Structure 1
Amino acid sequence: MRRIIILIVFMLTRWIVPTNAQPQCTVTHYDETNGMAQWFVTQIVQDKKGMIWFATWNGLNRFDGYTLECFKTRVGDGIDLPSNRIQDAVLTDDDNLLCKIEEHIFLFNTKTCKFSKVQPEEERRQLVMFQRRITHPSVPHSDIFECQDKYGVRWAIGRDGHIAYKQNGQWITYPTSIGQYRYLHYGLTDHQGNVWFRSENSVHKLTFSQKNFCMLPQDKPMHVRAFCIDNAKRYWVTTRDDASIRLFDKDNHLLGYLGRDGRLHPSYTSFGSPIYHVMQDTHGTFWLASKPDGLYRLREHNGSFNISHFSLNSNDLYNIAEDQYGRLWVGTFEGGINCIEQPQAEQPVIRNKSNGLSYPQDAATRVRQIHITGNGVLLAATNSGLLVADVSKKDARQVRFKLHSRHAQEAESLSNNALMYVLEDSKHRIFICTETGGIDQIASSNLLAEELSFSHFNTATGFASDLTQSAIEADGSILITSSNQLISWNPDTKQTAVFDANYWKHSFRYSEAIPAKLPDGHIIFGLQDGALVVDSKSLRKSTFVPPIALTALSIHNGSPDLAVDGLNTLLLKRPEDRDITIHFAALDYADGGSINYAYQLGDDASWHEIGKEHSATFLNLSPGTYQLKIRSTNSDGVWANNVRTLTIIVEPTFWETRWAQLLYTLILITAVGGVLRTRRYIIRLKRRQQELHEAYLALLNAGSETRDDHQEPMPRQVMKPEDEAFMQRAVTFIESHLSDADINIGDMAEATATSRSGLNRKMKSLLGVTPLDFIREARMRKACAMLKKGLLVKDVAYACGFTDVVYFRKCFKAETGMTPSEYRDENYGR
């Protein structure tokens, strides 16, 4: 009787990993809360480009996967629509829409987004067509609408909104339904295979996918920490929170819970210690790394296990690895690496950094995982970097460890010191998962080299994430767990694919458990609340290429123009039109919120990835011709070959043209020439003034007794007759009054027949000096001439119009730099 009960319990706890992906259906509802203009939808149409149109009783709604835009008649638009109540719509051969409105037919141009009236003959013909047009009937109470998705699965949708799919010849009710809606009508099956329905007050979209994963059954959500596939093809699953250990056979039957008594129990039993790693050595002995309870050795005998317990220098254990000599190398959280020699002995020898193991004393005490290559090189992922040692030596005390860590100034060092996992793939390449630095690959051929070089793959180089926890090789790629996503990475092509909540239709958070390949070929991943089982061969992304539509254009913060999808060239004529915002959408209706975008402005520009933002703003565009290119991923995050190009021509104003540049050049040349001519004129004028100035001073100095009255005063100068007469009068006045101390400008002006101001201007223009300056210079010249003849200083002062000899000396020294006596002594007789 007891055996029968146990058998029943085992049958109830059996689970089967699905060999084929399971069909999934997601239902999305659209109504006025999503932006629909009116709740009553009469028709659903998709144009050839891929845009979805809803005919409603409040105009025509355009849906690009993000927003619903309404097009209808407005006051003053010149469109004589009887109302905005669209009763039906059909797509024309030229990709426009014929709309039936109050028994009239109007054409809606999908490029210009304008309504127009059709010709009477055409209207009558189209009215007959609308009356005869066979649309899919509403789903009556006893009828069912059937369709087949892109995976070949048959689906049925009933009037009551219930959904079913066909599997192995039988209809299976799907747990999700459309809901209770009256007048359920089939709308269309779009280009992706999504099926659209309309009801009395909503639009319903059915998106089909496949569930290619399952969850490992467990009593309640628990943090899964370790897996182990043993020699008998059983697999072990340990959980941290409840310290349980479950064993399953190769056919996914639950064999039981391992208790501390070494027996398998059919119902839930806690082992009592959280197990972080399970491994089976070459002798068939099981070793369990516990945190915080140390090391357990399990030897199987007659269906049960003999359990031994050992303490290390730290009992917070993370990982165990076996070398070619059967020694165990154990990674601890605080004690670094421990070596278990003779592990099969009753009392194995345990070595660590305090009793003979040559280990860095101040580094790498926290060891997360240990990997030993086939040629005996130990690689340990620690919180301080990568610890490397040659463990091919028989004596563990001769093993020397080398710590490789990150150096900020060395580009080929580790990207991060906090390492999570070391993976050696089938080509013997070493990859390291880092906590926040992505994936590092050892580029050095000699793992025991004094310095190792690393290649880096992270978000800066286009990798999907910097957070990497563990990895497993599968089907030519490496599957890497991040915090909330699974990354498939091909190290040869460097291509990545991200499987996240959008792909699974479920949110997962991965634990640090090392993934394992189950006996049936599926891969199991640890989660914070369970375990995920995946068929790696079915991990495929969608190949759908969504077309990109231009949905709106705003110029200089103006009202958006919604009729821009047919635009291939945008001409901007005015300077104020050079600030533009372009909105676009990839027409993928599976999940628009998962699409990423990038744009390029100019053939030589780089692509700017803008994430899920589906608009681009350009400010103060310079004159010229630009090629704006836009591309996107599909809803699975795969970049598609769907580049949409828009030519933008920014017309220059006249002042920005080459003619304006030529004009600017001519103006500059003219201005520079004018400046140069003016400068030459001023130089010539000053030279002429200086020559006249010197000539007339010389003339005054010569004295009237040596000058012929009829002699031309300036034989080398060409002067106007009136100017020459003016200077003759001025010189005559100065000659006759040079010794007069009371000489003044007024008398000189009167003698030259000019005003005081006229005298000043005339002298400045001809000689470059004022009359008073000229008189002063004439007196100094005469004083110099008289001193050269040896006359007394006081006689010279009085002869030159100075009544004060002291003042004369001061003025003379200021002019010549010498006193009158010094000048006379130096120049007398010359």
Structure 2
Amino acid sequence: MAKYLLATALFLIAALNCFAQLSTSIAENYSLQEGLSDRSVSSIIKGKDSLMWIGTSNGLNKFDGYNFTVFNSDPDDSLRLLNSNIQEISQDVNDNLIIIYENTTWMFNIFNPQTYELRKVEVSLSTGVHGLVRDFEVDEAGEMFVLTEGADTTRVYRFDGRDGFELVFSLHQPHPGNQTYQMVLRHLSGGDFLINDSALGLQLINAGGKVEKYFQQRDFGDTTRVDRITYPNRINFLHEDQFGQIWVAWDKVPGIFRLKYGNYRFERKTEFDQTRYYSAIYEDDPGNLLVLQSQPGGIHPETLNVFAFTPNAQIFDFSHVLDDNRIVTCIFSEDFFKTIFLGTDDGFRVVRNNRFRIKTYLTQDSEIASENVIIKGITGDDNGYVYLAAESDHWYKLDLSNDLLDTLTFWNTRTGKPLELNGGINLLKDADGFIWGAAHESRGGSRLYKYDPEQCTVEAFDFPYPITSFTIADNGQFWLGCSPSESDGIILTFDPNTGTHEEFYLADGSNPLPTSAPQFIFQSSSGSIWVGTTNDGVYTFDTQGEHFTHYFTDAENTRYRISHNSCLVIYEDEIGKIYLGTQNGLNIIDTRNQHLKVLRRRDGLSNNTVTGILPDGSGHFWISTNNGISFYDPGDDSFKTFFQADGFSANAFNPFAFYQDENGRFYFGSVNGLNVFMPKDLLLDEPKPTVLLTKIERYRSTDDSLMIMESNLHKVHQLVIEPYDTYFALHFTFPEFSRPKKNQYRMKWEGSDKWTLYNDPIIPFHKFPAGSYTLLVEGADANGNWSAKPFVLPIKVKKPFYKQTWVQILLLLAIFSIIYGIFQSRMRQRLKMEQLRTKLASDLHDEVSGLLSGIAMQSDLVQFMVTDSKVQNRLKTIGEVSRKAMSKMSDVIWSIDSRKDRLEDLVGRMHEHADEMLLPLNIRYDIQISHKLDRAQKIPANIRQDLYFIYKEAVNNIAKHSNANRVFINMRQQGNFFELRIKDNGSPVEQLATVSSGEVAGQISGAEANQAIPTAALQQNKKKSGQGLSNLRMRAERLKGTLEIKTDNGYSILLRMKKFM
């Protein structure tokens, strides 16, 4: 330990309250390249539509923050103005734009900014105006007046808002001949008028036309003074502010004058330099005045300085809003302390005025980074001083009472040289009020410095390793994170009372940081030590080296899986949550339920690399990053972001360099000096405007056309999208023009809780489904301040013609009609077929059956009449053949008779045939019908016919060839199949030679023709049996079924086919 002297070098901070103040105004410049119609800007206003309107020497420009829409006198322009050289733009009582043109006094235009309707108003005898127009005046209420001058009369007219003018008053005032003079009219808030005539002087005239005051030279000060004014004279400006005070500056006369109504005399405003010339004055909504100090002479002289004069008589130098081009032609602002629009002869610029929100210290305008002062540590002593540690060379002390900044240099009394403070990090105040900081030494070690603010002495403590971070524990002990090399680390404990240190190891004797250097060390309220490392995550353990926990990206347990292994800052809130600032977002660990949450840039954080976490005392946090500072609200996880464009000296902020003093001011050290602010100056509690719809685009595929709608958007209460608008896009703007490209948008559909974020003001929709929707859109400025209320747009997407409900109903009716017609046609055909079948069956029965019956009867009669046995045998054969033919004919007639289509008819026919064939042979039979089969249901004629003939053939075979005395006939539904089974109880039947005894004959279907039939039947009539087998196969195929014949245990047939009922 060694003691050293401290030398202080005092640097007085000048009027700007900083050691080196950066220009704290950020400007966006617009000219021809950006779409402005002309460089020369003559007038700027903000319309009631919240868009900017810029008058130039080549037309009118609408500016939405992104694009310009130009209106001029181009013959090809559908919205053609009467002239392009605009002198001034004003708003009338109906929020229309009044456009006055340069060197054009006989007419003006009235332009509706919402409908784009353009109206020409003549100023002539035809509209009731006499004399030569000398000035147009549009007052604060939007009323327009015209000042004319005749040979010996001065007149004032009021515009009636339509096409005519009415005389307000006239004065008999002859003018000297052959003299060029200026006349200016102002309508005052009380109803009076001021007219300055450079030939006759300034007059105050009441609403009735009576001259209340004719000002003389003595009314402007002591006429014996050297600086007395030239009077009568031209004026540079004549302005009534919102408090009723009259301000005037004369041409080529130094100083500014203000009217005192008590004695109707003008006094010089000594707050302004009365030796300088002033060319223009402007006023914002709060009543602040902005005055241009310029070179004398000229319509738009060079501006030297800009001053703001507040309602409470404070004056501020606003010259920082100027750039190299100092020809200012016009100014507009709603609040000069926020955003200012400056028109010049080279376009216009939007200036974000940040000077009075953020104070910067030790900043440099140099583009050489090595010249910047990099702040690496901040703390305070609660006695009105804040201490800063730079990365190299110095500490600084800031006196909060007067903003004086001292440079602290530590001297070695032995060598007489300043101590090395390179690589300085962190500053902390201990419980005794001493300030502690660390710095590296060129020999490889480091030193911990103890500064005594009262005695102005410094003690230094040497350490063998470079100190990368340190913290002071509750018991006063120091915990130091050191890095012997780039790849490993070690923790030291230091006793400030004895000046001794020890290496710290875990309870098992191991080094807690074997593979990574520490970047931040912190003690939580529970006493645990938390260490953030360069590449190995975060370690936590108690002071005895136990209860070791490791948080890192590849942890198997998600409770310990953080977003990045490099941790730069650690903080614990009042309820015990741990905040880890990593290089990939903010990690929040709820130690009570072991829940871990990560917030990144996509969630609103200004940058993923978090370098500082500072609470504001009300549950919110200020978070510094490598690109801006974020205000974080844990209640809804929302962020507001601030950048260099908001007045900070840089976008990149450093670890350890954050602090809040006893007055509530916040300090953040950057790569270019110190930044100090009060949160209320950044978190402006003011409602933000609603998003504006600026354009609707539709692409219609039917004719390949793009339709654009920019006017009459206020009438779009519901956006109707036609079926063939395959693409449409909505263009929006958020009317905050200081940094429009940084504005943000979000949209959602009504009824949904999920917002979709957009950085682009265009929201496209492609092939959007038909239906009715309600779109909600909100906007935010570059800092993340969202609209007070959303923009709401109902959208109806129509269905194509063929998808309309009534069309679909008609289509369904047409389809139903067609189907019904086809059904009716088929029913008629079916009915005809059934009628034909019935007629055919009847005819066959009546004619053919009767004929066959007659043949059989005749043959029987003749048989008894003849005696020749041969003839009798032939007649007997004729009778038998006729009866067989009648039987066959009966089957045919039954099969085609539509009156026999029910299952009950089939069963009855089967009974008849079984009675005829089996009962005479004393063969009993049993027909069983499954209950699943509806006897009353009709069967298709072809199925009924084939089923019956298969049955008949089987019964015939049993009757002729079986030795059975019992036959079982069964019809049933089995799953999706219908089965007809016929089986007798006879003995095995001899098979064909090609089939062995007992072998299943197979399935009769398809091409399987070689099936077994009883040998007896074959021997009896081979030809007939072959024909019967073919018929069985043919009928089975027609039914798309299978036929199985077995002869090993009597005679059985199984027909299996898909169910048909």
| CA 553–297 in structure 1, closer or farther in 2 if over 3 Å, else same | closer
SS at match of 2:498: coil
- Partners of 2:895 and 2:945 within 8 A in 1: no
Give 1:595's match in structure 2, choosing from 743, 766, 770.
Answer: 743
SS at match of 2:802: helix
| 2:705 corresponds to 1:552 | no
Q: Which residue of 2 aligns with 1:735?
A: none
SS at match of 1:469: strand
Give 2:1024's match in structure 1, choosing from 780, 793, 800.
Answer: 800
* Paired AA for residue 177 in structure 1: L
Farther-moved stretch of structure 1 (670-679 vs 330-339): 670-679
How far has the Cα of 1:785 moved from its partner? 7.5
Q: Which residue of 2 aligns with 1:69?
A: 69
SS at match of 2:785: coil
Q: Which residue of 1 aligns with 2:551?
A: 405
SS at match of 1:143: strand
SS at match of 1:484: coil
Q: Which residue of 2 aligns with 1:497?
A: 640
- Partners of 1:299 and 1:307 within 8 A in 2: yes
Q: Which residue of 2 aligns with 1:271?
A: 420
| CA 817–669 in structure 1, closer or farther in 2 if over 3 Å, else same | same
| CA 154–648 in structure 1, closer or farther in 2 if over 3 Å, else same | same
SS at match of 1:627: strand
Give 1:432's match in structure 2, choosing from 576, 579, 583.
Answer: 579
How far apart are the structure 1 equivalents of 2:41 and 2:377?
54
Q: Which residue of 1 aligns with 2:966?
A: none
| CA 498–180 in structure 1, closer or farther in 2 if over 3 Å, else same | closer
| CA 808–581 in structure 1, closer or farther in 2 if over 3 Å, else same | closer
Q: Which residue of 2 aligns with 1:256?
A: 408
What per-residue deviation string (whole Å, max 9, x for no partner) do you get for residues 269-288 of structure 1?
A: 46165232344555777655
Q: Which residue of 2 aligns with 1:366?
A: 517
Give 2:571's match in structure 1, choosing from 390, 410, 423.
Answer: 423
How far has the Cα of 1:436 moved from its partner? 3.7
The correspondence of residues 767-806 of structure 1 with structure 2, limited to 5 A, is 796-797=1020-1021, 799-800=1023-1024
How far apart are the structure 2 equivalents of 1:537 and 1:810?
101
- Partners of 1:260 and 1:271 within 8 A in 2: no
| 2:361 corresponds to 1:216 | yes
| 2:388 corresponds to 1:237 | yes
What per-residue deviation string (whole Å, max 9, x for no partner) do you get for residues 32-72 of structure 1?
A: 22212234555444322222223445443211122110134
- Partners of 1:161 and 1:179 within 8 A in 2: no
How far has the Cα of 1:490 moved from its partner? 4.0
How far apart are the structure 2 equivalents of 1:278 and 1:91?
58
SS at match of 1:113: coil
How far apart are the structure 2 equivalents of 1:603 and 1:433?
36
Give 2:764's match in structure 1, choosing from 607, 617, 621.
Answer: 617
How far apart are the structure 2 equivalents of 1:811 and 1:475?
99
TM-score by length of 2: 0.58
| CA 782–595 in structure 1, closer or farther in 2 if over 3 Å, else same | same
- Partners of 1:181 and 1:200 within 8 A in 2: no
Q: Which residue of 1 aligns with 2:32?
A: 32
* Paired AA for residue 631 in structure 1: E
How far apart are the structure 2 equivalents of 1:564 and 1:256?
66
- Partners of 1:111 and 1:564 within 8 A in 2: yes
The correspondence of residues 184-583 of structure 1 with structure 2, limited to 5 A, is 185-186=329-330, 188-190=332-334, 196=341, 198-200=343-345, 202-203=347-348, 205=350, 207-217=352-362, 220-229=371-380, 235-240=386-391, 242=392, 244-246=394-396, 252-259=404-411, 269=418, 271=420, 273-279=422-428, 281=430, 288-291=437-440, 293-298=444-449, 303-311=456-464, 315-333=465-483, 336=489, 338-340=491-493, 342-345=495-498, 348=500, 350-353=502-505, 361=512, 365-373=516-524, 376-383=527-534, 384-391=536-543, 398-406=544-552, 412-413=559-560, 415-416=562-563, 417-425=565-573, 427=574, 429-444=576-591, 452-454=594-596, 456-459=598-601, 463=605, 465-474=607-616, 476=618, 477-491=620-634, 494-504=637-647, 507-517=650-660, 522-541=665-684, 543=686, 545-556=688-699, 558-572=706-720, 574-583=722-731
How far has the Cα of 1:711 moved from its partner? 9.4
How far apart are the structure 1 equivalents of 2:501 and 2:36?
75
How far has the Cα of 1:331 moved from its partner? 1.6
* Paired AA for residue 143 in structure 1: Y
SS at match of 2:127: helix
* Paired AA for residue 590 in structure 1: S
| CA 368–254 in structure 1, closer or farther in 2 if over 3 Å, else same | same
How far apart are the structure 2 equivalents of 1:616 and 1:806?
79
TM-score by length of 1: 0.72
| 2:287 corresponds to 1:143 | no
- Partners of 1:469 and 1:482 within 8 A in 2: yes
How far has the Cα of 1:350 moved from its partner? 1.1
The correspondence of residues 15-94 of structure 1 with structure 2, limited to 5 A, is 18=17, 29-72=29-72, 89-94=89-94
Identity %: 13
Q: Which residue of 1 aligns with 2:863?
A: none
The correspondence of residues 644-663 of structure 1 with structure 2, limited to 5 A, is 644-663=791-810
Larger C-alpha radius of gyration, 1 or 2? 2
Q: Which residue of 2 aligns with 1:751?
A: none
Farther-moved stretch of structure 1 (619-628 vs 26-35): 26-35
How far apart are the structure 2 equivalents of 1:775 and 1:424?
97
RMSD: 5.4
How far apart are the structure 2 equivalents of 1:766 and 1:374?
95
Give 1:585's match in structure 2, choosing from 723, 733, 750.
Answer: 733
How far apart are the structure 2 equivalents of 1:628 and 1:488?
29
How far has the Cα of 1:367 moved from its partner? 2.6
SS at match of 1:555: strand
How far has the Cα of 1:430 moved from its partner? 4.2
What per-residue deviation string (whole Å, max 9, x for no partner) do you get for residues 358-404 of structure 1?
A: 5565778533222335664433334544433444xxxxxx4424214
- Partners of 1:43 and 1:54 within 8 A in 2: yes
Q: Where does the alignment leave 5 or more consecutive residues of structure 2 unmatched?
A: 1-5, 139-183, 185-234, 238-250, 253-276, 295-300, 365-370, 701-705, 853-878, 900-939, 964-1013, 1053-1061
* Paired AA for residue 51 in structure 2: M
- Partners of 1:631 and 1:643 within 8 A in 2: yes
How far apart are the structure 2 equivalents of 1:75 and 1:17?
53
How far has the Cα of 1:546 moved from its partner? 2.8
How far apart are the structure 2 equivalents of 1:390 and 1:380?
11
How far has the Cα of 1:610 moved from its partner? 0.4
| CA 361–720 in structure 1, closer or farther in 2 if over 3 Å, else same | closer
* Paired AA for residue 164 in structure 1: V
* Paired AA for residue 658 in structure 2: P
Aligned length: 742
SS at match of 2:710: coil
- Partners of 1:543 and 1:638 within 8 A in 2: no
SS at match of 2:69: strand
| CA 791–150 in structure 1, closer or farther in 2 if over 3 Å, else same | closer
How far has the Cα of 1:614 moved from its partner? 0.6
| CA 562–264 in structure 1, closer or farther in 2 if over 3 Å, else same | farther
| CA 222–172 in structure 1, closer or farther in 2 if over 3 Å, else same | closer
- Partners of 1:541 and 1:636 within 8 A in 2: no
How far apart are the structure 2 equivalents of 1:160 and 1:100?
24
| CA 33–341 in structure 1, closer or farther in 2 if over 3 Å, else same | closer
How far apart are the structure 1 equivalents of 2:78 and 2:598?
63
Q: Which residue of 2 aligns with 1:155?
A: 290
* Paired AA for residue 53 in structure 1: W
Give 2:319's match in structure 1, choosing from 174, 182, 187.
Answer: 174
- Partners of 2:388 and 2:395 within 8 A in 1: yes
How far apart are the structure 2 equivalents of 1:536 and 1:816?
96
- Partners of 1:797 and 1:808 within 8 A in 2: no
* Paired AA for residue 344 in structure 1: N
SS at match of 2:708: coil
Q: Which residue of 2 aligns with 1:731?
A: none
How far has the Cα of 1:481 moved from its partner? 0.9
How far has the Cα of 1:521 moved from its partner? 5.9
| CA 91–704 in structure 1, closer or farther in 2 if over 3 Å, else same | farther
Q: Where does the alignment leave 5 or more consecutive residues of structure 1 unmatched?
A: 1-5, 392-397, 446-450, 722-764
| CA 210–256 in structure 1, closer or farther in 2 if over 3 Å, else same | closer
